[in-house]
Amino acid sequence: MKAAVLHEIGGTPRYEDFPDPVAGDDEVVIDVKAVAVENVDKRIADGTHYASGQYTAQLPAVPGFDGVGALPDGTLVGFGNPRRPYGALAEKTVVPEGAYVPVAEGLDPAIATVLGTAITGMAVRTAAGFVPGQTVLVQGATGVAGRLAVQVVRLLGAGRIVATGRDDGQLREVRALGADEVINTAVPDEALTRAYLDAKGDGYDVVLDYLWGRPTEVLLRSLVPKSFAFPTPTRLIQIGESAGAAIALTADSLRTSGVEICGAAKGLSPQTMQEAYGQVVTWARSGELTFDVVRVPLSDIETAWQRTDLRGSRLVVVP
């Protein structure tokens, strides 16, 4: 079969022949239909992700740990956990029995690969207890996940949506997706602090944070009250770290601001995951939730892997 083959940590996968997978006991071979290439895939291949050793211990190997494909009987499924060295970026892969779930009928396989990214926006409900009418700040709204989050919170009935990003052109696109106000974070700290304060109105009820790093440091400092007050809670949900893995968190940022910080996994259970997935599928089918994907053939993986021009679109490889 043909596959994207990684020969060394930090290298670029190459389109090559690779041995066909053979199912062992309690395994099944999947005919791959679509695979979304995300930053985590590249970090694993680069050796910079905490799970890199798990996926690159045996080289050469095929990257990618999930995707959409067909079972031997033709059933379309979302799959994960391929047996190494087989990954998702190939014509075929092999996974344990049960390491897959049916894809909702009528969904384009390429779109189905991005549903998990959209579900991160549902953390506004599962982790933050959002109710319609509240104000939501989406930190990092120009990325794939952030753009979907803006749409999700709009569909859930947010009263106001404030969105941040580093590019004015992309922020205009985010405004068209439903953001009421936008903030460019590529400004000095003092100007960014003022922008957060000017945009918050009566306060940010929920922050969906795909950034962390400097912008979130500045945000948290901006929320410290200047005089004693009974603060309105601001529930910050930590989802991503595209602006940095660490922040300097001063004590007063929590003590007097009303800020409550938790991770996106808060409130998750099989039931809440199923409910979130079902809601996203409903919106995808109706066209209320739109997905910007760039489809490329597997044969172009070497060039596609190195692309830096996607501007909020998700790269989807179609074998």
Residues 79-106 pLDDT 10s: 999 999 999 999 999 999 989 999 988 8
Q: Binning pLDDT at 50, 70 and 90, where does residue 48 land?
A: confident
Instruction: Clarify whether residues 93 and 51 are in a common domain.
Output: yes
Tell me how far apart the alpha carbons of residues 46 and 6 are, in angstroms, rounded to a whole number.
10
Phi and psi, residue 113, nearest 5°: -70, -20
DSSP string computed for 11-60 = ---EEEE-PPP---TTEEEEEEEEEEE-HHHHHHHHT-STTHHHHHSSSS
Residue 252 vs residue 86, higher pLDDT: 86
Look at residues 225, 245, 263 and tell me which one is the last residue of a structural domain.
Answer: 263
Residue 269 lies in a domain: no
Residue 282 lies in a domain: no
Look at residues 263, 280, 309 and tell me which one is the last residue of a structural domain.
Answer: 263
| Whether pLDDT at 187 is above 80 | yes
Q: In the predicted model, what is the mean pLDDT of residues 243-269?
A: 92
pLDDT digits (tens, 9 = 90+) for 115-157: 989 999 999 999 999 999 999 999 999 999 999 999 999 999 9
CATH number for the domain that contains residue 110: 3.90.180.10
Look at residues 219, 247, 263 and tell me which one is the last residue of a structural domain.
Answer: 263
- Estimate the crossing angle of helix 144-155 against helix 270-286, to 10 degrees: 90
Q: In the predicted model, what is the mean pLDDT of residues 6-30?
A: 95
Average pLDDT, the chain: 94
Tell me how far apart the alpha carbons of residues 86 and 81 are, in angstroms, rounded to a whole number.
9
Burial call 243-279: b when 16+ CB within 10 Å, e when fewer = beeebeeeeebeebbbbebeebeebbeeeeeeebbeb
Instruction: Clarify whether residues 161 and 252 are in a common domain.
Output: yes
Instruction: Clarify whether residues 126 and 257 are in a common domain.
Output: yes
Instruction: Clarify whether residues 123 and 105 are in a common domain.
Output: no
Residue 223 lies in a domain: yes
Residue 80 lies in a domain: yes
Tell me how far apart the alpha carbons of residues 214 and 88 are, in angstroms, rounded to a whole number.
34
- Estimate the crossing angle of helix 189-199 against helix 213-222, to 10 degrees: 60
Instruction: Clarify whether residues 57 and 123 are in a common domain.
Output: no
Using the structure block, give the residue that is written with the tokens 């779930």.
101
| Nearest residue to 94 (alpha-carbon basis) of 28, 18, 20, 3 | 28
Residue 275 lies in a domain: no
- For strand 234-238 and strand 206-209, is the pairing parallel, antiparallel, or unpaired? parallel
| Total domains present in the chain | 2
Instruction: Clarify whether residues 34 and 135 are in a common domain.
Output: no
Q: What is the pLDDT of residue 88?
A: 96
Q: In the predicted model, what is the mean pLDDT of residues 231-245?
A: 92
Instruction: Clarify whether residues 171 and 71 are in a common domain.
Output: no
Tell me how far apart the alpha carbons of residues 182 and 163 are, in angstroms, rounded to a whole number.
5
Instruction: Clarify whether residues 134 and 238 are in a common domain.
Output: yes
Residue 299 lies in a domain: yes
Write the CA distances from 293 to 5, 6, 29, 55, 257, integer angstroms: 23, 24, 26, 26, 39
Instruction: Clarify whether residues 221 and 191 are in a common domain.
Output: yes
E strands, 97-150, are 100-102, 135-139
Instruction: Clarify whether residues 109 and 135 are in a common domain.
Output: no
Instruction: Clarify whether residues 144 and 244 are in a common domain.
Output: yes
Residue 208 lies in a domain: yes
Q: Which amino acid is present at 56?
A: T
- Estimate the crossing angle of helix 168-177 against helix 144-155, to 10 degrees: 30
Q: Which two tokens stand for residue 210?
A: 């795909």
Domain encompassing residue 51: 2-114+291-318
Q: What percent of the chain has pLDDT over 90?
A: 82
| Whether pLDDT at 295 is above 80 | yes
Instruction: Clarify whether residues 173 and 308 are in a common domain.
Output: no
Residue 88 lies in a domain: yes
